[in-house]
Amino acid sequence: MTRRLTAVKTALWLLAGVLGVLTAVRFLRGLGATTALTDTAPWGFWIAFDVMSGVALAAGGFVVAATVYVFGRERYRAFARPAILTAFLGYAAVAVGLLYDLGLPWHILNPVAHPQHHSVLFEVAMCVMLYLTVLFLEFSPVILEHPRLQRPLLARVHRALQKVTIPLVIAGIVLSTLHQSSLGSLFLIAPYRLHPLWYSPYLWVLFFVSAVALGLAMVMAESFFSAWLFGHKPRRELLGNLGRAASVVLLLYAALRLGDLAARGKLDLALQPTGHAALFWFELGVSALLPAVLLQSGRVRAGSGGLFGSAALIVLGMIGYRFDVCIVAFARPEDMPYFPSWTEIAVSVGIVAAAMLVFIFFVEHLRVYPPEEHGPAEPRPRPDPGTVRPLLAGPAAAPRRYSLVAVLGAALAVALLPAGALFGDQVARTPVAGPRTLDAIRVAVDGRPDDLVLAAEPARQAPDGMPARALLLDADRDGRTVLFDHDAHVERAGGETSCGSCHHQNLPFDRASSCGSCHADMFLVSDTFRHESHVGHLGGNAGCARCHDGGEGAKTREKARACDDCHSDMLVPGAVVRPRPGGLDGRAVGYMDAVHGLCVACHEREVALRPGELPASLADCGTCHGREDPARLRRLGPYAAADVRRAAPPPGAAAVPGPSE
């Protein structure tokens, strides 16, 4: 038993250590680096679990308080203290979890300074703040009982608190009713995003009723868990009564849910073979129907396994209900699904672990459970495996053990963090795809000479057209193309010998290397230098000094010889673009910058050279962009169609969140 407690605490400290690192990363690097949230999934795991489920899981506090203090069921008094402590720690965890999720957590008190009472969230925030205070006051007599706190002033506070127990309890019930239901009202504003099987004008009723059932289930589950942890006997008969009450509430919840759907005429949505309908029935079954039926049976209620299993079903199912409303059934584009990052999950788990450690601390030091249920005091764990001999063997053993585990967890967390979380979110790489070569015919179109049409387009195959080779540029394959008249540019630049004016640098032994062979990323700088291959070709270890000939200091790229010291033929003389002074170091700017830099610079130069001859708009975006739209390309000949379709999704689907499609 004591071994079990030690093992559980060790695991919890490990998770708390992970949480410590993730906390630092979250606040230093921001939400984008640590979560999977997007503009179409602005609320994710932290809201669905920490806030929505956390508040609901802490509902046991007000349900038990009502049972014991208002309805005078003294038999259940033993549940009151742990339930209120659980609720208090649950709400504290909600508040802490919210600090991680808020973009500007230091503004968390702004709702008090700038209330906006039309916002449901405002009501939730106020109720949670007040209820957290109420729970603290409800629980504080347990703290004040501690032998070390027997001082006259504190005793007076203690007596005053005991006098206001009933008003506190009633205030807590009212506040809980308000915000448990308002968590459902939060989603009333989104009728176009929340799936109709979940959206209802009476979401707030459903959330409240389900919270009552969940509160009862949590008391049951927590009783069994702490009995297992602290080695005392669960009060199975009383828990069975709670189970029967939960079953009644669950049946009411299921009836309300289905009745509401039927009244709004949406029940047929649940009977169609869709993913949403399956999810709906699965969730309703696990959260309400199955446990309600189970708990109606006296045999299930008589055994610990049945009671605990049913309670676990309710807890998981009702968390599932919150997740469905908040995430799963909340519309977002199909090509932008949300799945939480491991850091999000680990933060939530870490907060729960920390709350459980506080709970265990209170149980070990205060009278949370009735005295007869108390297990033996804190066991003495084995000392630190380190060789440093502790000055204090006994009292220091637990801190030594748990701090070592927490350090281990923290170090593991840092090692597992993705680079984006350590160094700030990284811009995604967009590999560049080469151009496609198309056969075209040069004809006069709309009075413009030298316009290209594709050879496969029958209507435009004028007999006087000249065959031409065109390049279709779509480097990031987003379906938006530039049709580049390569032949005409060759001609204007001076024929076959003019390649170098645009192809300003070649790969070794290459002639007119394509843009994407160096500018390999659409937006980011690419590294064109292959260290491995150079090591191999220059003779392994002996070859280092061939490039790193600087002698002193570190062997860095900056201090190595420039590429063109050896590859003197890489640079083409007479090119429009020149490398930066200081020699080539193997880094190439993004494709978009490179191509814009080259084309726009040259177009501007040409306009300046021949002002009357060329239109001033030659350097505008429209000269190259927008002349070829993918839809027109798709209507062309069969090979072009296949080519374009394979490469790019239809423009509608690829573009901005047209979520409803």
Partner 1 sequence: MDAWLDWARGPAFVFSFVFLLLGLLRHVALTAWEVAHVWRRAGDRKLPLGKLLRATLLWLVPFTRLRHRFWFGLTSLVFHVCILVVPVFLAGHVALWARGLGLSWPAIPNAVADALTLLAVVTAVLLLGQRVFSRATRSLSRVQDFALPPLVAVPFATGFLMMHPGWNPFDFQATFFVHVMSANLLFVLTPLTKLSHMILMPSTQLVAELAWHWPVDSGSAVGRALGKEGEPV
Partner 2 sequence: MTVPKAILNDTTRCTGCEKCVAACKRENGLGRDLPRRWKLCIDDLSSTRLTTIQRREDGRPVRRMCLHCLEPACVSACIVGALRKRPDGPVVYDRDRCMGCRYCMMACPFGVPRYEWEEPVPYVKKCVLCHHRLDQGKVPACVEACPEKATIFGDRDELLAEAERRVRGEPGRYRPDVFGRDEVGGTSVLYVSDLDLGFLAWKPELGAEALPDLTWAALGKVPTIVLVMGGLMTGAWWLVGRRNKLAAEAAAAKEKEAAAAKEKGAGGGDPPSAAPPAAAPEGRKP
Paired with 505 in beta bridges are 571
- The radius of gyration computed from the CA coordinates of the chain, to the nearest angstrom, equals 35
Site for partner 2 contains 658 (CB under 8 A): yes
Backbone angles phi, psi at 109, to 5 degrees: -95, 0
Name residues contacting partner 1, limited to 422-451 (CB under 8 A). Answer: 422
Q: 436, 471 in Cβ contact below 8 A? A: yes
> Looking at beta carbons only, is 32 or 543 nearer to partner 2?
32
Strand partners for 482: 473
Decide: is 404 part of the binding site for partner 1 (CB under 8 A): yes
Among 52, 59, 64, 66, indicate the residue that binds partner 2 (CB under 8 A): 66
Nearer to partner 2, 113 or 616 (CB): 113
Distance CA 586, CA 593 (A): 16
Residue 331 to residue 611: CA distance in whole angstroms:
54
Give the containing element (helix H, strand E) for 107: none
Distances (CA, A) of 17 to 21, 289, 408: 7, 39, 7
CA 62 – CA 80 distance, rounded (Å): 9
Collapsed DSSP state (helix, strand, coil) of residue 585: coil
Phi-psi region of 212 (alpha: psi -120 to 50; beta: other; left: phi over 0): alpha
Using the rule CB under 8 A, is 408 a contact of partner 1?
yes
Contact partner at residue 392 from partner 2, partner 1, none, CB < 5 to 8 Å by partner kind: partner 1
Q: Which is nearer to partner 1, 382 or 448 (CB)?
A: 382
Which range, of 396-404, 488-496, 594-602, 649-657, touches partner 2 by CB under 8 A?
649-657
Gap between the Cα atoms of 308 and 302, Å rounded: 11
How far apart CA 135 and CA 171 sit, in angstroms, is 10
Least separation in angstroms between residue 101's CB and partner 2 is 8
Under rule CB under 8 A, which residues in 198-227 are in contact with partner 2?
201, 203-204
Binding to partner 1 (CB under 8 A): which residues in 164-183? none
DSSP string, 411-444: HHHHHHS-HHHHHSPPPPP-BPPPPEEEEEEEEE
Q: Is 333 in the site for partner 2 (CB under 8 A)?
A: yes
Of the candidates 206, 643, 607, the residue with the CA atom closest to the CA atom of residue 439: 643
How large is the greatest C-alpha to C-alpha distance in the chain, in angstroms? 109
User: Looking at beta carbons only, is 556 or 568 nearer to partner 1?
Assistant: 556
Kindly state whether residue 147 participates in binding partner 1, applying the rule CB under 8 A: no
Residues in the chain: 661
Q: Does 416 bind partner 2 (CB under 8 A)?
A: no
Which residues ranging from 9 to 38 are in contact with partner 1 (CB under 8 A)?
21
Report what 661 binds from partner 2, partner 1, none; CB cut-off 5-8 Å by kind: partner 2
Report the residue from 10, 141, 193, 489 that binds partner 2 according to the rule CB under 8 A: 193
**Beta bridge mates, 473:** 482
Q: Is 110 in the site for partner 2 (CB under 8 A)?
A: yes
- The answer to whether 366 contacts partner 1 (rule: CB under 8 A) is no
Q: Does 23 bind partner 2 (CB under 8 A)?
A: no
Q: 568 contacts which partner out of partner 1, partner 2, none, CB within 5 to 8 A by kind?
A: none
Site stretch for partner 1 (CB under 8 A), options 110-118, 157-165, 254-262, 552-560: 552-560
616 sits near partner 2 (criterion: CB under 8 A): no
532 makes contact, choosing from partner 2, partner 1, none, with CB < 5 to 8 Å by partner type, with: partner 1
Q: Which of partner 1, partner 2, none interacts with 102 (beta carbon under 5 to 8 A by kind)?
A: partner 2
Q: Does residue number 659 form part of the binding site for partner 2 (CB under 8 A)?
A: yes
Looking at 40, 133, 140, 498, which residue binds partner 2 (CB under 8 A)?
40
Nearest distance from C-beta of residue 13 to partner 1, angstroms: 12
What's the min distance (Å) between Cβ of 19 and partner 1? 14
Does the protein bind partner 1 through residue 383 (CB under 8 A)? no
Binding residues among 508-567 for partner 2 as defined by CB under 8 A: 522-523
Residues 92 and 631: their CA atoms lie apart, in Å, by 56
CA dihedral (593, 596, 599, 604) positive or negative: negative
Helices (H), 164-235: 165-185, 203-230
